[in-house]
Amino acid sequence: MIDNRSVGRCLSEMRKYFRITQDELAARLNVSRQAVSKWETGASVPDIEQLLSLSELFGVSMNDILRGDVSAIRQRREIVLPRESRRDRQITVIGAGRWGCFIAWYLDRIGHHVTLVGRAGSKRFEALRSARSNEYVTLPESILLTDDETTACQAEIIILAIPSQELHSLADRLKDMGVTDKIIVLCMKGIEVATGRRLSQVITDALDHSNKAAVWVGPGHVEEFVRGVPNCMVIDSSSELTKQEVIRAFSSDLIRFYYGQDLIGSEIGAAAKNVIGIAAGILDGLDLASLKGALMSRGTSEIARLIVAMGGEAASAYGLCHLGDYEATLFSPHSHNRAFGEAVTRGQSYHALAEGYATVKALRNLGKSHGVELPICEAVYQVVCEGASPAATIDQLFTRSLKNEF
């Protein structure tokens, strides 16, 4: 005799354990949200095919579900997705810069069907399309290169790898295209200066809610990846199923992905590390590289305070999205933000503004609105945005009132 209420409680607990909404579960099983609600209240039970799907999704037996036994699920740390969801996906990458080209190359390498979208009329993109290579990577013929965003956005997964301050206009274009039921992965780091919104907020505010957003953050340089040097990165999302699906599809022997657990912290931490990178460049420009240890410690503490004030977890600042990305940003010759900070300090020209230039303005505003003191970010802002003397600004940091370390 099946106890409908026990089955319902079991399904509800399993769904909540993995932080899956009723809408997400309904979409996965191709049923209505009302059907899921009826199962959880005990008004009805899933049929055999639905039970099989639930069993596969949650990694437990049908008997466990029918008995209302959730103990088995607590032995699992992730949902097992169907094998076909892991590889051989139709993926579009928008943004044919350094990271966009690498992402296209990487996802093609692990077995996906990839389209790379560049800017119409761009001489750099036309050169890439002709040569199928840039200074970082050579793109195989299996990758389609196009400037047709509308056609390319028919893919299942859309990855955005563009400058963060251009996201708003791209989101509006995607909305006008009627993009629905997509996984949109933001492989970019920043905060919208005009509004202070995180990038996932920019995209979800613009698009239909059938789309699910994720962020791809963490350390790594294209120059190292293409030489086969592995690294660890993070995928985070407000949707547990989306997170699971992206990690299953993107993981390989070259990049080990971890499941992010704090979307606010992941995004703010990733964006802020670019500002700390500029600070490291300022120290290099002043021949004060020995202070980078202090910068790492105090910078992480500073960003952790802001993350907490915004509703995130302090631990995120000490994870791969921020502290874990310091080596690639504070010390590497490949770091654009570090090189930008050094060039500004030495009075040299730099070929482009670093991403951290816009981010420090946004962080400064967020610090003020949340009542959080950000002395390192303020120092970077004064040097790169207001033209303050780098040496005098560092001196001012050292003459601040004395306080406890923690």
Q: What is the pLDDT of residue 19?
A: 66
Cβ neighbours for 84, distance < 8 A, ≥ 6 positions apart: none
Q: What is the DSSP letter of 402?
A: P
Q: What is the pLDDT of residue 72?
A: 61
DSSP states along 84-112: GGTSS-EEEEE--SHHHHHHHHHHHHTT-
Q: What is the pLDDT of residue 122?
A: 94
DSSP states along 35-85: HHHHHHHTS----HHHHHHHHHHHTS-HHHHHHT--TTGGG-SS----GGG
Q: What is the pLDDT of residue 18?
A: 66
**60: which 2 tokens?**
């437990």
pLDDT tens for 327-369 read 888 998 889 999 999 999 999 988 778 899 999 999 999 999 9
Q: What is the pLDDT of residue 29?
A: 84
Cβ neighbours for 75, distance < 8 A, ≥ 6 positions apart: none
The low-confidence residues of the chain, meaning pLDDT below 50, are 76-86
Rg (CA), the chain: 23
Helix axes 240-250, 22-29, angle to 10 degrees: 50
Q: Which of 158, 180, 138, 6 is nearest to 94 (CA)?
A: 158
Helix (H) or strand (E) holding 246, with range, is helix 240-250
Q: Which domains does the chain have, with CATH numbers?
A: 4-75 (1.10.260.40), 87-261 (3.40.50.720), 264-398 (1.10.1040.10)
Q: What is the pLDDT of residue 82?
A: 41
Q: What is the pLDDT of residue 379?
A: 97
Q: What is the pLDDT of residue 81?
A: 38
Residues with catalytic roles: 273
Q: Which of 167, 379, 396 is nearest to 279 (CA)?
A: 379
pLDDT tens for 175-224 read 999 999 999 999 999 999 999 999 999 999 999 999 999 999 999 989 99
Q: What is the pLDDT of residue 58?
A: 75
Q: What is the pLDDT of residue 76?
A: 47
Q: How far is CA 34 from CA 37, 65, 178, 238, 314, in A?
A: 5, 19, 26, 22, 38
